[in-house]
Amino acid sequence: MNGIHDMGGMHGMGPIRHEENEPVFHEAWEGRVYAMNRALGVLGKWNLDASRHGLELLPPAEYLRMSYYERWLARNTELLVQQGLVTREEMETGKPAPESPKASPVLKAAVLTAAAVPAMASSRGSYMRPDAEAKARFKVGQHVRARNMNPVGHTRLPRYARGKRGVIVRHHGIFVFPDTNALFQGEQPQHLYSVRFVARELWGDGAPPHDSVHLDLWDSYLEHS
Amino acid sequence: MANDQTPEDRRGFLKRVATGAMAATVPPTMHAQDHPHDHEHQDVPSDPALRTKALESLLVEKGLVDPAALDALVDAYETKIGPRNGARVVARAWVDAAYKQRLLHDGGAAIGELGFRGAQGEHMVVVENGPKVHNLVVCTLCSCYPWPVLGLPPVWYKSAPYRSRAVIDPRGVLREFGLELPSDVEVRVWDSTAEIRYLVLPERPAGTERMTEEELAALVTRDAMVGVAKVRVGEAARPRGGPA
């Protein structure tokens, strides 16, 4: 979707505020939101792409005004309700409704424990699908054009690269396709490539002649050029 | 469940985000400014700290979250998983040519040799800075960042100013970080649009030939591994903004 999250190339966002000796979490609640997000992810009711899409669906003005972890809190709240893990009434009262079911045995078995955290932190939950059936339409060195497309759902092809010409510089393998996965329409894995776009192709003649931007793009985002 | 989510569903979601659950998550000042005609949720805690606490206790009571697991996760990212890890990778590459070769060829495997792996580091690509090439990493669409080697990203990395300008004006961004690059240095920006995570291998500064690997690691900053700074002799003895 052409949302506010897709901000590459925008002007007017102000100076970058670099903070010396920045803490990992500025306030304790931020750490709790981060950890809840990880713990809820383990329950398997949604995936990383759906989770990213949840942020994109926040109303633009609120997306910009909220702090990072406020966005996560709003997104997780919405996903919890959407997936039926909590009700809106429970969110509003902060108390489990007397008639509301507690976690099912299946969910209970999936709940993240402290003992499982070190293993989780170091496990490889890969989105790579090397054995999936997928045809690679491109190879390294080929010239391509990023498609001009404007899907209303989730996509990882930013607006600033659409319609632009680039060169495949690396083949990453076969990966879960975020556009479908985010909408619970299946992983539909595709080949993924690193594509180099020269800065002048993206931004015009005012850009430095030798600079470039690389994006990781799925097969169906690209066409031959 | 949402197997065939239609645009209608998404609009519904948007509307609900704007009017329903968001009422519990949007500070009241925003309601006052932006939504003159709602809301009936005056009893809901407004402060994000309170709202987070309310959500956590609800999830705990429902058996969906174990608070001890949350403690362990927070502790892991506050004290163990941070830019010290990446600094060790960089220092090893500076002193061990064979390791550097492996690192540039298969980043994930070489980083894994030092024991750093896990979420948001499953597919690592390491890009090398040199006298004529400068690499810079961004995620314009969200906040993708190589957690196992750098920890969680700083606020500026996730902020609109950095995300919007890193791709269109990387040299201007670098200038804001105090780094002016000559025009004959090629700037390569890496926008993390997929599950590949990027780590910059900074240039080893001159005058460090006699330093040990450990001393070298102490020079390496988080910012240098994102590509918004160079490694300099005499920098703070630990990467900025992360666990020691």
Round to whole Å and give the CA distance between B139 and B156. Answer: 12
Q: What are the contacts of B18-21 at 24+ separation with CB within 8 A?
A: B18/A59, B18/A62, B20/A81, B20/A88, B21/A74, B21/A77, B21/A78, B21/A81, B21/A88, B21/A91
Starting at the edge strand found earlier in the chain, the sheet holding A212-218 runs A222-224, A143-146, A165-175, A190-198, A212-218, B186-191, B133-138
User: What are the residues whose beta carbons fall under 8 Å from the beta carbon of B209, sequence distance 6 or more?
Assistant: none
Supply the pLDDT for residue B12.
52
Is B158 an 8 Å CB contact of chain A?
yes
Q: Give pLDDT tens digits for A175-208.
A: 999 999 999 999 999 999 999 999 999 999 999 9
Supply the pLDDT for residue B21.
44
Pinpoint the residues of chain A covered by CATH 2.30.30.50.
143-224
B183 is catalytic: no
Largest CA distance in chain A: 66
Is B133 an 8 Å CB contact of chain A?
no
| Domain residue limits, chain B | 42-80, 82-226
Is B17 an 8 Å CB contact of chain A?
yes
Q: Do A212 and B186 touch (CB under 8 A)?
A: yes
Per DSSP, the three-state class of B129 is coil
Nearest CA in chain B to A22: B241
When CB atoms are compared, the residue of A11, A61, A70 closest to B34 is A61
Is B61 an 8 Å CB contact of chain A?
yes
Q: Which residues of A touch B168 (CB under 8 A)?
A: 8-9, 11, 160, 202-203
User: What are the residues whose beta carbons fall under 8 Å from the beta carbon of A143, sequence distance 6 or more?
Assistant: A165, A166, A167, A224, A225
| The two three-digit tokens of residue B243, written as one number | 């666990």
Round to whole Å and give the CA distance between B68 and B64. Answer: 12
Query: Do B214 and B237 contact (CB within 8 A), yes or no?
Result: no
Judge: domain B82-226, CATH 3.90.330.10: yes
Nearest CA in chain A to B164: A8
B144 is catalytic: yes
Q: Give pLDDT tens digits for A21-78.
A: 999 999 999 999 999 999 999 999 999 999 999 999 999 999 999 999 999 999 999 9
Percentage, residues of chain B above pLDDT 70 = 77
Pinpoint the residues of chain A covered by CATH 1.10.472.20.
28-122
- Other Cβ atoms closer than 10 A to A60: 11
Supply the pLDDT for residue B9.
53
- Other Cβ atoms closer than 10 A to A89: 12
When CB atoms are compared, the residue of B49, B177, B186 closest to A18 is B177
Instruction: Tokens 């490889």: give the residue.
Output: A124
Q: Which residues of A touch B164 (CB under 8 A)?
A: 7-11, 13
Round to whole Å and give the CA distance between B30 and A65. Answer: 9
Q: Please, what is the Cα angle at A201 between A55 and B137, to 5 degrees?
A: 45
Mean pLDDT on B102-119 = 95
CATH fold of A28-122 reads Cyclin A; domain 1 (1.10.472)
Scan residues 82-101 of B and list those with Cβ closer than 8 Å to A: 82
Q: Give pLDDT tens digits for B25-41.
A: 444 444 434 444 444 44
Establish, for the pair of chains A and B, how many residue pairs have beta carbons separated by less than 8 Å: 339
Is B243 an 8 Å CB contact of chain A?
yes
Closest CA to B141 of A49, A166, A69, A185: A49
Give the β-pairing of B133-138 and B186-191: parallel
> In Å, how far is A159's CA from the nearest CA of chain B?
10
Supply the pLDDT for residue A109.
87
From the list B144, B159, B164, B183, the catalytic residue is B144
Instruction: Among 2.30.30.50, 3.40.50.920, 1.10.1740.10, 2.50.20.10, name the CATH number for the domain at A143-224.
Output: 2.30.30.50
When CB atoms are compared, the residue of A28, A192, A210 closest to B186 is A210
Task: Give pTM, 2 decimals.
Answer: 0.89
